[in-house]
Amino acid sequence: MDRLIGKKALVTGGGRGIGRAIALAFAGEGAEVAVLDLRPELAEKVAREIADLGARSFSVVANVSDEAAVKSAVAATEAALGQIDILVNNAGIDTTSRLVDMPTEMWDEMIRVNLRSVFLCTRAVLPGMLQRKWGRIINISSQLAHKGAAEMAHYAAAKAGVLGFTRSLAYEVARSGITVNAICPGPIDTELFRNIPEGWRENKLAELPIGRAGTVDEIAPTAVLLASDEGSYYLGASLNPNGGDVMI
C-alpha cells in the first residue's frame, strides 16, 4: 500500500464518482492528493476524507474548460503541494440527444468540458513534469470512444478526441520520463450515469456481457497501476475496464 509514496497528484472532477475513488485510492497508496472540482463542498469533503486516511490533501475549485481558471488552480496546487507528479483528467459531463435535435451549445459544451479541459489541464502541469523528467498523465475516456452510441455523438466524439490526444502526447514526452495513458470505463454506477435517461441506461446495461454497471472501485485500481512504477511500460495505452462492452 505504498506504491505512490512521495508523489503529488491532482485529480480533476475529484469530488464524486470515479474521480473521488481515484483520489482516495491514490491517498491509500501514500500520495498527497489535490482534489479539483467545480463544486467546492464536494472537493472539500473528499479532501477531508483523504486527510482522515493520514495523507496530505488540498481542495481547489475551477471550471476545467476555462483557461484562466485552470492556470490559477494548477498554480495554487503547486504552491500547496510543491509540485504535481500525477495528473488525472477525469472531470466530465454526460448528456444525450439525437444529432438532428442537438443544439449547437450542447455540442460545444461537451467538447469544452470533456476534451478542451484535458488539453488545458495537461498543458498547465506539463512544464514541471518536463523539468523533473518524470510524470504520469491519466486521461479518463470511455468505451464509447471505441464503440459509439446512438444519441451520444457529441460524447463519443469528445472521448475519441481524448484518445487521439493521449497517443499523440505520449509520443512527445515519453523520452522525458512521462507516461500518458487513458482509461476507458464502461457504464459505471455514478451520479453521472444515473442522470442519463432511464431507457438509454437500461438498453446499455442489457448489451453488457457482464450484465451490470461497474463500480467506481473497479476503475480506481487501473489508475493506481498507471500512476505507479508498475505502469511505467504503458504508453499511449487505452485500458478498458468496461464489463465486456468493448473487447480489444
3-state secondary structure of 91: coil
Catalytic residue among 155, 171, 233, 234: 155
3-state secondary structure of 188: strand
3-state secondary structure of 56: coil
Distance CA 191, CA 196 (A): 9
Distance CA 59, CA 69 (A): 14
Is residue 30 within 8 Å of 3, Cβ to Cβ?
A: yes
**Cβ neighbours for 14, distance < 8 A, ≥ 6 positions apart:** 20, 22, 23, 33, 34, 35, 36, 37, 43, 46, 88, 90
Is residue 205 within 8 Å of 213, Cβ to Cβ?
A: yes
199-222-246 Cα angle (round to 5): 45
* Catalytic site includes residue 234: no
Residues tagged active-site: 155
